[in-house]
């Protein structure tokens, strides 16, 4: 049996940003399959509901046959095992991201020796971008079209 190279890209995607999109598109040729996995945190309500966040992810990658989306709760490494993923994909913006990701990545490795975390550097223009800034702009009635994928912006407009 040929082993598929499956990667999980975990996050809350509330909403998906151009930074997320860029990392996923650049990583797509490296894997047979990338699962964009929306981790559900029962303590956090979130801005967009889960169904809408998934819809935005699916619309963004409608042209990428090897990118799919899913939702999960619980440990990310357990979800990886469930779907047969041997790779965790993450993006790195700054040295603060590095320190945060280093500890999660090293702990995940201790939890599950068979899963490697793989990092992609952010594109310079996406470095200051994160989902919480986008939520803030939206809360104050601003436009976020330059910060989120085109397909996601359409869905946001239909739901404001
Ligand atoms: P979310 O923003 O969806 O809550 P995270 O902050 O955990 O989720 O981000 C999910 C992944 O996406 C992380 O690996 C993070 O480094 C990466 N990421 C987030 N924003 C960007 C960006 N602007 N450029 C590149 N990678 C990013």
On the 0-12 / 13-18 / 19+ scale of CB atoms within 10 A, 27 is buried
pTM of the model: 0.95
Give per-residue pLDDT as tens, 29-38.
999 999 999 9
How many angstroms does the Cα of residue 91 sit away from the middle of ligand 1? 6
Tell me the angle at which helices 50-60 and 150-158 cross, rounded to the nearest 10 degrees.
140
Mean pLDDT over all residues of the chain? 97
Q: State if residue 53 touches ligand 1 by the CB under 6 angstroms criterion.
A: no
Distance 17 CA to ligand 1 centre (A): 8
Q: How far apart are CA 160 and CA 157, in angstroms?
A: 5
Contacts of 8 (CB under 8 A, 6+ apart): 34, 35, 37, 76, 79, 80, 83, 85, 87, 88, 89
Can you tell me which atom of ligand 1 is nearest the CA of 9?
Answer: 11
Find the 127 Cα to ligand 1 centroid distance in Å.
Answer: 10
Query: Residue 75 is encoded by which pair of tokens?
Result: 């440990």
pLDDT digits (tens, 9 = 90+) for 66-120: 999 999 999 999 999 999 999 999 999 999 999 999 999 999 999 999 999 999 9
pLDDT higher than 90, residue 42: no
* pLDDT for the residue numbered 44: 86
């Amino acid at each position: 049996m040929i082993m598929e190279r499956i990667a999980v890209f975990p996050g809350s995607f509330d909403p998906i940003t151009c930074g997320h999109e860029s990392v996923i598109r650049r990583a797509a040729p490296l894997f047979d399959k990338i699962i964009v996995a929306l981790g559900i945190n029962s303590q956090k309500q979130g801005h967009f509901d889960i169904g809408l966040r998934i819809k935005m992810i699916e619309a963004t990658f409608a042209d990428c046959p090897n990118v799919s989306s899913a939702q999960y709760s619980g440990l990310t490494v357990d979800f990886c095992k469930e779907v047969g993923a041997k790779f965790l994909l993450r993006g790195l913006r700054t040295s603060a991201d590095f320190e945060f990701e280093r500890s999660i990545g090293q702990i995940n490795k201790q939890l599950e020796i068979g899963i490697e975390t793989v990092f992609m550097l952010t594109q310079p223009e996406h470095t200051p971008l994160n989902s919480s800034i986008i939520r803030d702009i939206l809360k104050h009635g601003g436009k976020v079209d330059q910060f989120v994928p085109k397909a996601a912006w359409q869905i946001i407009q239909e739901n404001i």
